[in-house]
């Protein structure tokens, strides 16, 4: 193996287009070529190779961008332009960026946006156990039994959710802090106990707060937020 080579998914990610996981999906979909040939997962790139994504030759690394968005309900956290509600068209940002993780279409709140594929991979690693905090409104009165069972782990998606922090805020609303990112996790947890989620808003990711950001508002991470983020991810 050429010591100066790099895996194709890492190469695409390093150009600020997406995470490595997303790059693998693009490769499978035939959106990536190397020197005119359709790329395959496991291919490696060396100096002088021409890598093209969706007909565009990849250029030098762009200036890194780190943003926070208050995602509205109805926007999908995907870079797939075939989805008319995709987050990229909603942002209309002048550089190519992508969301860090997901927040389902029916939910609102904080999501991070970047073009730094390396930091995305580090944030998404399960072992980091990054906290994410939500406010959730359900369709009926919350009971002590419900809170206790939610906190101790719920069997969904062939696994048991991690223990979590949960606090009742009103008759039908609670605050919950998760360290997992299972698909529609909070909604599935509530459904298990015959509760329906009426509203779900993410208000914190790690040390980054939604605060008073308006729905649809986009802002740059401040120096303190970015410094802490890089410390957490070892960058």
Q: Which residues are catalytic?
A: 104
Question: Could you give the CA distance from residue 73 to residue 159 in angstroms, rounded to a whole number?
Answer: 28
CA dist list (Å): 229 to 26, 113, 148, 217, 232: 27, 13, 32, 21, 5
Confirm if 110 and 205 have CB atoms less than 8 A apart: yes
Tokens, residue 42: 């496991």
Tokens representing residue 85 in the block: 């509600």
Residue recorded with tokens 């790329």:
39
CA distance 169 to 192: 21
Q: At what angle do helices 117-124 and 223-233 cross, to 10 degrees?
A: 60
Spatial contact of 108 and 201, defined as CB atoms under 8 Å apart: yes
Q: Which of 95, 114, 184, 193 is nearest to 153 (CA)?
A: 193
Give me the residues paired with residue 70 across strands: 110
User: Taking a C-beta distance cutoff of 8 angstroms, is the pair 185, 179 a contact?
Assistant: no
Q: What are residue 113's DSSP bridge partners?
A: 67, 99
DSSP 8-state symbol, 146: H
């Amino acid at each position: 193996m050429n010591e100066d080579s790099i895996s194709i998914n890492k190469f695409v990610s390093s150009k600020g287009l997406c995470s490595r996981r997303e790059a693998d999906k693009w490769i499978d979909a035939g959106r990536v070529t190397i020197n005119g040939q359709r790329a395959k997962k496991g291919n490696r790139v060396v100096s002088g190779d021409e890598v093209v994504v969706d007909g565009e030759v990849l250029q030098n690394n762009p200036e890194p961008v780190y943003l926070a968005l208050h995602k509205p309900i109805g926007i999908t956290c995907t870079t797939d332009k075939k989805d008319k509600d995709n987050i990229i068209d909603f942002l209309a940002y002048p550089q190519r960026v992508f969301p860090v993780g997901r927040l389902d279409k029916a939910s609102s709140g904080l999501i991070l946006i970047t073009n730094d594929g390396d930091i995305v991979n580090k944030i998404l690693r399960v072992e980091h156990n990054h906290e994410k905090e939500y406010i959730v409104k359900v369709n009926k009165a919350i009971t002590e039994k419900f809170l206790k069972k939610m906190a101790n782990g719920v069997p969904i998606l062939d696994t048991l959710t991690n223990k979590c922090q949960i606090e009742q805020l009103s008759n039908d609303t609670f605050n919950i802090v998760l360290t997992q990112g299972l698909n529609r996790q909070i909604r599935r947890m509530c459904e298990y106990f015959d509760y329906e989620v009426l509203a779900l808003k993410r208000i914190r990711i790690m040390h980054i707060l939604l605060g008073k950001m308006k729905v649809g508002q986009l802002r740059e991470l401040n120096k303190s937020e970015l410094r802490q983020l890089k410390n957490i991810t070892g960058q």
